[in-house]
């Protein structure tokens, strides 16, 4: 008995050890097979994102795969392409074999750019799924009405795809959602009224679609909303009154590039947490409310391309970062004091704002951070040479249609500069060689003279000067 039981015990121990080793070194076979199925749906992976995904190795160690530590079941799949790296993408489809990953609580497939196919309906079969971020890919077709089945979802982002059709009404059943991001698609129709039931939302973005109708007046229930992005659609009508109930917490209110009308409501001045307000490119009329003087913490204000009139309120903001009041009916006379005194401003756009001043008299406290300055279509005299001499990172300077008078040869063209427009002023001197490095140049209709340096710009960039010559204009007389 003793003799015979010993080898058995050893055998049992070996088997047991073997089991332990197996379970410690590989993930659940269903998960492995589900992931390999996903990999086989990928037709091209030029940056080798999935190189570590090899059959027979522990799938918990594969790039983008996360497991629970106790049972080694896969809980999330998270693959993302790097935005500015050309080959950092995946082509193919999202294989339905991912439905084998029963423990999955999050799918994050972001910036993969070339994943196509329709909405992956297998997600309805994943009982634990809470987070879906399938962003910046090429998925198309409709968002299925059955999306409302996933009542456990905390976040749904399908931003940056090619989804068409309406936003399904059933989305109102996803009452646990804290984030709903459907921006950057081809969605049509109006905003379903049922979205009012999603009272836990902190982030609602529908921007950059083809949505129509009015912005629903349903915001009184959204007490936690911090980010509201409805820009770049076809919304009409007024800003609904219930938006006022978002005052305590809302940081981003973006309604730009729609067909909104009426006055800018006074209550926006009460938005104590507002960081960014974009009402640009709509049809707002009337004055900007005096209450804007209370927006002391606003960083980004864009009211450009509306029909707004004087007087512009005195703002009390200490550090605006970007300001665009271009193309309204303002007669500001000067660049606003609160922009001039901002220590952190990087973008100032005041095209056609009725500014009448000598540019040398403008003494901004900070010029170092400036990326963009647009003063087109004002009555500005003098020279930008001193101003541009003080910038380090300037990318664009637009000052066409003013009364600037200076020698172009003295202008410092910083390495970062890409866009320079000085058309329709009284600029004289020669065109410096350094402009050849710009992406866009326009010095037409000035008093420039001499041979044009070799550049890629068309004749219309140089036309209308006193005596500029050489390609792309007529040859110089020798």
Ligand X SMILES: *[C@@H]1O[C@H](CO)[C@@H](O)[C@H](O)[C@H]1NC(C)=O
Could you list the residues that contact ligand X (CB under 6 A)? 43-44, 91, 114, 116, 124, 146, 149, 269, 290-291, 293-294, 385-386, 389, 400, 423-424, 442, 444, 458, 460-461
Q: Report in angstroms how near the CB of residue 471 gets to ligand X at its nearest.
A: 15
Q: Report in angstroms how near the CB of residue 410 gets to ligand X at its nearest.
A: 6
Q: Using CA atoms, how far apart are residues 212 and 215, in angstroms rounded to an integer?
A: 9
How would you class 48 by CB atoms within 10 Å of its CB: exposed for 0-12, middle for 13-18, buried for 19 or more? exposed
Q: How many CA atoms lie within 13 A of 443 on its CB side?
A: 29
How would you class 289 by CB atoms within 10 Å of its CB: exposed for 0-12, middle for 13-18, buried for 19 or more? middle
For ligand X, the closer of residues 41 and 216 by Cβ is 41
For ligand X, the closer of residues 25 and 460 by Cβ is 460
Q: Report in angstroms how near the CB of residue 214 gets to ligand X at its nearest.
A: 26
For ligand X, the closer of residues 385 and 414 by Cβ is 385
Backbone angles phi, psi at 457, to 5 degrees: -80, 150
For ligand X, the closer of residues 13 and 146 by Cβ is 146
For ligand X, the closer of residues 216 and 265 by Cβ is 265
Q: C-alpha dihedral over 349, 355, 356, 359, to 10 degrees?
A: -20
Q: Report in angstroms how near the CB of residue 291 gets to ligand X at its nearest.
A: 3
Q: Report in angstroms how near the CB of residue 460 gets to ligand X at its nearest.
A: 4
* Cβ neighbour number for residue 84 with a 10 Å cutoff: 6
For ligand X, the closer of residues 161 and 233 by Cβ is 161
Question: Sign of the CA dihedral 45, 46, 50, 56?
Answer: positive
Backbone angles phi, psi at 61, to 5 degrees: -95, 0
Closest residue to ligand X in the complex (CB): 291
Q: Report in angstroms how near the CB of residue 94 gets to ligand X at its nearest.
A: 12
Q: Report in angstroms how near the CB of residue 461 gets to ligand X at its nearest.
A: 4
For ligand X, the closer of residues 389 and 416 by Cβ is 389
């Amino acid at each position: 008995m003793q003799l015979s039981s010993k080898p058995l015990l050893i055998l049992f121990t070996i088997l047991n050890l073997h089991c332990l080793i197996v379970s410690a070194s590989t993930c659940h076979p269903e998960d492995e097979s589900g992931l390999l199925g996903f990999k086989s749906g990928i037709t091209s992976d030029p940056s080798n994102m999935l190189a570590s995904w090899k059959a027979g190795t522990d799938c918990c160690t594969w790039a983008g795969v996360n497991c629970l530590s106790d049972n080694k079941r896969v809980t999330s799949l998270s693959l993302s392409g790097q935005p500015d790296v050309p080959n950092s993408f995946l082509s193919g489809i999202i294989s339905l074999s991912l439905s084998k990953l029963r423990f999955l609580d999050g799918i994050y497939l972001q910036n993969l750019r070339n994943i196509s196919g329709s909405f992956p309906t297998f997600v309805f079969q994943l009982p634990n799924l809470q987070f879906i971020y399938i962003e910046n890919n090429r998925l198309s077709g409709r968002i299925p009405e059955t999306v409302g089945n996933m009542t456990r979802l905390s976040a749904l982002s399908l931003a940056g795809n090619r989804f068409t059709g309406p936003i399904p009404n059933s989305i109102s059943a996803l009452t646990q959602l804290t984030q709903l991001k459907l921006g950057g698609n081809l969605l049509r129709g109006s905003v379903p009224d049922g979205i009012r039931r999603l009272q836990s939302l902190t982030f609602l973005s529908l921007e950059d679609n083809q949505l129509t109708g009015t912005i629903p007046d349903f915001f009184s229930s959204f007490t936690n909303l911090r980010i509201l992005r409805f820009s770049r659609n076809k919304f009409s009508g007024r800003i609904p009154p219930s938006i006022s109930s978002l005052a305590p917490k809302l940081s981003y209110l973006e309604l730009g590039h729609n067909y909104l009308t009426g006055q800018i409501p006074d209550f926006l001045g009460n938005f104590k947490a507002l960081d960014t307000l974009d009402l640009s490119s709509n049809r707002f009329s009337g004055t900007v409310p005096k209450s804007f003087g209370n927006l002391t913490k606003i960083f980004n204000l864009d009211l450009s391309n509306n029909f707004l009139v004087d007087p512009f309120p005195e703002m009390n903001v200490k550090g605006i970062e970007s300001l665009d009041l271009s193309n309204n009916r303002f007669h500001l006379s000067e660049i606003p004091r609160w922009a001039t005194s901002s220590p952190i401003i990087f973008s100032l756009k005041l095209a056609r704002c009725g500014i009448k001043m000598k540019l040398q008299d403008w003494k901004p406290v900070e010029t170092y951070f400036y990326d963009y300055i647009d003063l087109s279509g004002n009555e500005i005299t003098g020279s930008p040479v001193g101003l541009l001499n003080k910038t380090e990172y300037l990318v664009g300077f637009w000052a066409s249609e003013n009364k600037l008078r200076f020698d172009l040869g003295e202008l410092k063209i910083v390495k970062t500069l890409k866009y320079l427009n000085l058309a329709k002023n009284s600029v004289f001197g020669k065109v410096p060689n350094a402009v050849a490095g710009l992406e866009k140049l326009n010095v037409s209709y000035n008093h420039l003279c001499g041979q044009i340096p070799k550049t890629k710009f068309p004749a219309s960039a140089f036309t209308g000067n006193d005596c500029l010559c050489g390609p792309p204009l007529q040859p110089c007389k020798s």
